């Protein structure tokens, strides 16, 4: 492993009043910090196309946030909160969400000590069914929870929509409001599965997307379902000792081919798109649907990005895959060499977070210059905050 990366070196003061508790009334009117060649300036997001080269390919994450927080009551009145993290059986998101016969999810459980072996039940009159939850084995700090219900006409996704709560980030320190159901989704979200929004995309509107097309900037999409691990702080003094969470990705073959033909001009919308795109390189090198946390640092990878993506396409063709379904645990931190992404659109992240390490790696250590500018020029931070477009520092 490389030299220690002291997480204390990635701290900065973030007063509560700088955390945006609500989005702006107009998504695309957020401030936009522009970083290129070591220089910092600012604009408004609806003019983001001014900073992207015509002919570039902008890749965004089409995941949609599910209403993953459920509340049950025991006969005693004790409140049990169940927060669905990821499907276990069926393991596939779409199969699990479309199930009408029951499913098992890895869940965080609030008040778990008061939930023993009993089945929790909730009558859902609007769907004419009784919804049941059964707590299974512990999985770290979470549990396997089996759900079933007595109306085979209703899917698990419909149940979540009817009785679940959208899980807005904990640092907003407020309850979920009805408006969040709209504002905490990107305009292009369509594949259900995330428990947190890919927030860099919250600034986009149809008007911005149309403007990009008129400038000759193409768009494409992939899917990474954002897990609760995105909010996990780095608790180790050396960031290399932090365990990254694994996330599920899905990328159509045609998207990979599109990326291959636009290499050198790839714009990632958000850190989730960044992690997915960079993972494709290593999957092409190894012809494996999994990227480990430290795989990029454990050996030399002489293959070019072009050859790696072509290898990935050839492997998919040989194995009959129209969509790459894979897992990534990749940790992008200082010392990482970027292979696919040339520009990154992203919000401003929490101090001492893995996302800040990713930004630092991308801008060659200039993160403090960027964040000092944002703090001194009234930028709004975190999920509902302002945006930035960063160009890879070579």
For the beta carbon of residue 128, count every other beta carbon within 10 angstroms. Answer: 11
Cis status of the peptide bond prior to 288, with omega within 30 of 0: no
> Structural domains in the chain?
7-65+182-391 (3.40.1780.10), 69-165 (no CATH)
Q: Low-confidence residues of the chain, pLDDT below 50?
A: none
Cα gap 194→238, rounded to integer Å: 29
Structure confidence at residue 232 (pLDDT): 73
3-state secondary structure 109-161: EECHHHCCCCCEEEEEHHHCEEEEEEEEEEECCEEEEEEEECCCCCCHHHHHH
Here the tokens at position 167 are 């899980």
Cα gap 41→246, rounded to integer Å: 35
CA 184-355-253 angle, to 5 degrees, is: 75
**Separation of CA 244 from chain center:** 13
Cβ within 8 Å of residue 285, ≥6 positions away: 301, 303, 308, 311
Structure confidence at residue 233 (pLDDT): 79
Residue pointed to by tokens 């927060």: 83
Here the tokens at position 356 are 């800040």
Structure confidence at residue 361 (pLDDT): 97
Nearest alpha-carbon partner for 358 in 251, 279, 253, 256: 279
Structure confidence at residue 227 (pLDDT): 81
Instruction: Cite the beta strand spans of the chain per DSSP E.
Output: 31-36, 39-44, 57-61, 63-65, 69-73, 79-89, 103-110, 120-124, 129-139, 142-149, 191-194, 218-224, 247-252, 266-269, 290-291, 323-328, 343-347, 387-391
Structure confidence at residue 231 (pLDDT): 66
What's the whole-model pTM score?
0.94
Cα gap 51→36, rounded to integer Å: 9
Cα gap 22→384, rounded to integer Å: 6
Q: Are 188 and 62 in contact (CB under 8 A)?
A: yes
Structure confidence at residue 245 (pLDDT): 84
Structure confidence at residue 60 (pLDDT): 98
Q: How large is the C-alpha radius of gyration of the chain?
A: 21
Cα gap 208→46, rounded to integer Å: 6
Cα gap 318→228, rounded to integer Å: 35
Here the tokens at position 157 are 């996704």
């Amino acid at each position: 492993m490389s030299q220690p990366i002291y997480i204390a070196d990635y701290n900065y003061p973030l007063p509560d009043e700088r955390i945006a508790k609500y989005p702006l009334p107009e998504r695309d009117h957020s401030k936009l910090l522009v970083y290129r060649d070591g220089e910092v300036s600012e604009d408004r997001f609806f003019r983001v196309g001014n900073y992207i080269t015509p002919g570039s390919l902008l890749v965004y994450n089409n995941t949609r946030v599910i209403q993953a927080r459920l509340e049950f009551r025991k006969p005693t009145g004790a409140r049990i909160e169940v927060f669905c993290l990821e499907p276990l059986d069926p393991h596939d998101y779409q199969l699990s969400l479309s199930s009408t016969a029951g499913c098992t999810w890895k869940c965080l459980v609030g008040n778990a000590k008061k939930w023993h072996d009993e089945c929790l039940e909730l009558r859902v009159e609007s769907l004419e069914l009784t919804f049941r939850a059964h707590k299974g084995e512990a999985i770290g700090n979470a549990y396997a929870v089996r759900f079933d219900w007595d109306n085979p006409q209703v899917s698990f996704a419909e149940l979540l929509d009817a009785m679940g709560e959208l899980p807005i980030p904990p640092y907003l320190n407020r309850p979920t409001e009805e408006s969040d159901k709209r504002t905490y989704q990107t305009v292009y979200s369509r594949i259900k599965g995330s428990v947190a929004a890919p927030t860099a995309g919250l600034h986009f509107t149809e008007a911005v997307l149309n403007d990009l097309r008129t400038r000759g900037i193409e768009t494409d999409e992939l899917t990474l379902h954002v897990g609760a691990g995105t909010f996990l702080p780095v608790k180790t003094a050396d960031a290399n000792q932090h365990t990254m969470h694994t996330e599920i990705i899905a990328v159509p073959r045609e998207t990979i081919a599109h990326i291959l033909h636009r290499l050198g001009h790839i714009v990632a919308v958000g850190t989730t798109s960044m992690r997915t795109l960079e993972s494709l390189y290593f999957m092409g090198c190894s012809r494996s649907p999994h990227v480990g946390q430290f795989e990029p640092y454990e050996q030399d990878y002489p293959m070019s990005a072009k050859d790696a993506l072509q290898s990935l396409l050839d492997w998919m063709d040989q194995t009959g895959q129209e969509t790459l379904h894979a897992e990534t645990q990749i940790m992008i931190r200082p010392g990482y060499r970027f292979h696919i992404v040339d520009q990154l659109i992203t919000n401003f992240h929490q101090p001492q977070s893995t996302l800040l390490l990713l930004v630092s790696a991308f801008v060659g250590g200039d993160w403090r210059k960027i964040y000092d500018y944002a703090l001194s020029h009234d930028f709004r931070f975190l999920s509902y905050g302002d945006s930035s477009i960063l160009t890879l520092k070579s």
